[in-house]
Structure 1
Amino acid sequence: MRLVKSTWRTISAVVGTLMGLLPHVLHHAGIIFGAALVTGAAGNLLFGALGLLFSIPLLRRLYARFDTWKAPAVALAVLVAMFSLSAFVIGPAISGDTGRETPPPADTPDHSEHSGH
């Protein structure tokens, strides 16, 4: 039984590591393939859903350990808060994407020709 638990923990750690590296690896998979999967709203939805899916075993263990829905609810709230912080604050800040287009700088007229000099 100990070997099974150890093996499961190792597999879980490897899957968690791969899921953490997946956005970076897909970024290098190609402009269209990587960008289509990991950018914008589609990427946020994809990785949010994967995060929720892969947190189900943890949420079940928390429920079994504390015998209440409160512990998994707190863990899920922390997951949502951290994912939201990453997706909507940190990501745009490091990518320079502010979510709004800035207008091009206005052309300033050249008044040197008619200024009398």
Structure 2
Amino acid sequence: MTGATGNVLFAVIGLIFSIPMLRRLHRRFDSWKAPALALGVFALMFSLSAFVIGPAISNGDQDRVPVRTVVPDEHEGHHG
């Protein structure tokens, strides 16, 4: 999964798996401020990972020259 579809899918999965933690934060602090802050941090870190770090390490350079493969007949020709 790449691109926007993969990012949305993993964001939703992360949100679903964070629900128990968010509920514990709400019970512990008896306020929605702590879960909202945690959700904001999650969104910030996910965005940083998906839109900055991921593209930086994925070799997103689309202008690369493709590697030329040698056809067996061409290869045998220079061994004469």
- Partner of 2:60, secondary structure, is coil
- Residue matched to 2:75: none
The yes-or-no answer on 1:57 pairing with 2:41 is: no
Structure 2 gap segments, 5+ residues each? 66-80
Q: Distance in 1 between matches of 2:40 and 2:22?
A: 11
Amino acid at match of 1:58: M
- Relative to the length of structure 1, the TM-score reads 0.51
Which among 38, 48, 54 is matched to residue 85 of structure 1?
Answer: 48
Structure 1 gap segments, 5+ residues each? 1-37, 105-117
Q: CA deviation at 1:50?
A: 0.2
- Residue matched to 1:97: 60
- Partner of 2:31, secondary structure, is coil
Instruction: Among all aligned residue pairs of Structure 1 and Structure 2, give the percentage whose two residues are the same amino acid.
Output: 66
More relative contact order, 1 or 2 (CA 8 Å, 6+ apart): 2
Q: CA deviation at 1:97?
A: 2.0
RMSD: 1.5
- Residue matched to 1:45: 8
Q: Distance in 2 between matches of 1:63 and 1:96?
A: 41
Runs of 4+ residues deviating >3 angstroms:
none
